[in-house]
Amino acid sequence: MPVKINRKVPRREKPKPGGAVRAIRRSALNLMLESAKGALPNEFAGVLRAYDGVVTEVMVLPGTEQGAQAALYKFHMLPADRSVVGTVHSHPSGNYWPSGADLDLFDKFGTVHIIVGYPYNVNSWQAYDGRGRARDIQVIE
């Protein structure tokens, strides 16, 4: 009797936009650190895109005003696919704790927000939840 071989390869599911964020790709982290350096003396501001709970992309929204005082977001410019899970911005002062205005922003939208502080290296950033509480996020390759 011939042996029936099941050649069906399990289909890889397409990564779903968004998800409960647990990690960030090192490439995305490096991009935000470099973007923060490039924006000096101003703040850099962008949004975080995640797929299956991993932040893979940093995006600057068209029309985002970047100034020394505050970075203003144009939330109507967000992509409609739910991939945007939060924000990232820089603090040229070096202090990477959220300001009062930051807390208002975090509260409005998103589940993970990153502040990178000068000198913008791998040790000068912190992730926060929507309530401004520091939260861990794993850096993966």
Could you list the active site residues? 43
**How many Cα atoms are found within 13 Å in the side-chain-facing hemisphere of 4?**
2
Q: Could you tell me which of 76, 111, 116 has the C-alpha nearest to residue 96?
A: 116
Within 10 angstroms of residue 36's Cβ, the number of other Cβ atoms is 27
Contact pattern from residue 7 through residue 46 relative to Zn ion, giving x for each residue in contact according to CB under 5 A and a dash for the rest:
----------------------------------------
Contact pattern from residue 62 through residue 101 relative to Zn ion, giving x for each residue in contact according to CB under 5 A and a dash for the rest:
-------------------------------------x--
Does residue number 102 form part of the binding site for Zn ion (CB under 5 A)? yes
Query: Among all residues, whose Cβ is closest to Zn ion?
Result: 102
Mapped onto helix, strand or coil, the DSSP state of residue 30 is: helix
Q: What CA–CA distance (Å, rounded) separates 108 from 30?
A: 26
Alpha helices, DSSP H, located in the chain: 26-39, 100-108
* Smallest distance, Zn ion to C-beta of residue 93, A: 9
* Smallest distance, Zn ion to C-beta of residue 48, A: 15
* Smallest distance, Zn ion to C-beta of residue 54, A: 24
Binding site for Zn ion (CB under 5 A): 99, 102
